[in-house]
Structure formats: C-alpha cells, structure tokens
C-alpha cells in the first residue's frame, strides 16, 4: 500500500491510499463470511486500517485499489465492503470509548471511597500514640492514595485517546472515495 497526498487536491488535506491487489474479488471475503453482503477480506481490512491510522491528521481519504488489466470485480461491492468495514470499526471504537469511560468513572468512585476510608484511618493512627511505627503507617497511606487513584486517572485522562483516534480514522474511511485503478504494466 502506498499513501500520498492527492495531487488533484490543492489543500493537501486528503490522503490517497493505494492498494495493489490481485483482483477485486480477492479483496472481498465472499466465501468465508457468514454475513450477507460484501465484506472486506480480513487481511485487506487490517492493512487498510493500518495504513489509514498512519495518517491521523488526514482530512479525508481516497482509496484506490490497483488491479492488473483484465481483472474483474464489482466496484459497487467493493465500496459497500469498505464502508461496512469502516462503519463497524467506528462502532467498535465508540463502544470501546464508552466502556473505558464507564470503567474510569466507576473506578474513580470506588477509589475516592477507599481514599476517604484511608484518610479516616490516617487521622486515627496518630491518636493511638506517638510511636514511630504509627506515624510511618500514617505517612505510608499517602502512597496508597496515589496508587488507588492512578488507574481511574489513567482511564479518564489517557486510555480513551487511541480508540477515539481509531474512531475518527474509521469515520473518514467510511466517507472515502473508493476507486479502482489499473496497475502499471
């Protein structure tokens, strides 16, 4: 697969993804898929998404499947398969983002509850005496606060970013102009 800026687009925001394939029929997974309608072969879908993810700043995509002269296949089926794949990838990424945020908020509430409990323990420990051990235990609880809140913070601040990026790229692929070109001789 080759990626390049589309020379016909003066703004340079669209990226042209060129896939050299044996035939359109080989790109479609018509025999192995139990689902109705055309689907991309898993290897073609994976390769397309991998290449598209390499261009996260693209304003859009043009996807060109280059086939040898005389190769057959339905362009309509190919367009349908690419759009179906991209829409499914978009939906999967959306679900992943929702799941991450749901887990993040749940973990945060559990973490805050644990911090409140440990704060109460930390306040009580110095009242039990002036022993170094109790003071050390009280100070050690500060480390536990950080550990308890680390994962919720990671989920809410960072972990949702990669699936959001995949969702954006899948959305652009769903709107891509899909064409068939011929391989150079």
Reading the block at residue 84, the tokens are 């179906």
**Sequence spans of domains, the chain:** 2-90+175-182, 94-163
**In whole angstroms, what is the distance from residue 22 CA to residue 7 CA?**
25
CA 24 → CA 66, 89, 104, 143, distances in Å?
9, 21, 43, 58
pTM: predicted TM-score of the whole model, two decimal places: 0.77
Using DSSP, state whether 17 is helix, strand or coil. Answer: strand
How confident is the model over 94-137, as pLDDT tens digits? 999 999 999 999 999 999 999 998 888 888 877 777 777 777 77
Buried b (16+ CB within 10 A) or exposed e, 25-63: bebbbeeeeeeeebbbbeebbebbbebbeebeebeebbb
Q: Residue 9: is its pLDDT beyond 50?
A: no
């Amino acid at each position: 697969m080759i990626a390049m800026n589309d020379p016909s687009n003066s703004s340079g925001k669209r990226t042209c993804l060129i896939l050299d394939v044996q035939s359109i029929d080989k790109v479609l997974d018509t025999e192995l898929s139990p689902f109705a309608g055309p689907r991309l072969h898993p290897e073609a879908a994976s390769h397309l998404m991998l290449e598209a993810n390499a261009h996260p700043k693209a304003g859009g995509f043009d996807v060109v499947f280059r086939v040898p002269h005389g190769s057959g296949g339905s362009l309509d089926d190919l367009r349908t398969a690419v759009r179906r794949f991209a829409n499914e990838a978009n939906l999967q990424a959306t679900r992943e983002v929702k799941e991450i945020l749901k887990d993040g908020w749940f973990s945060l509430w559990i973490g805050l509850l644990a911090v409140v409990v440990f704060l109460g323990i930390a306040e009580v420990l110095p009242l039990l005496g002036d022993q170094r051990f109790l003071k050390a235990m009280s100070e050690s609880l500060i480390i536990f606060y950080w550990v308890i809140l680390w994962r919720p913070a990671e989920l809410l601040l960072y972990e949702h970013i990669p699936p959001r990026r995949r969702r954006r790229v899948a959305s652009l692929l769903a709107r891509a102009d899909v064409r068939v070109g011929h391989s150079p001789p």
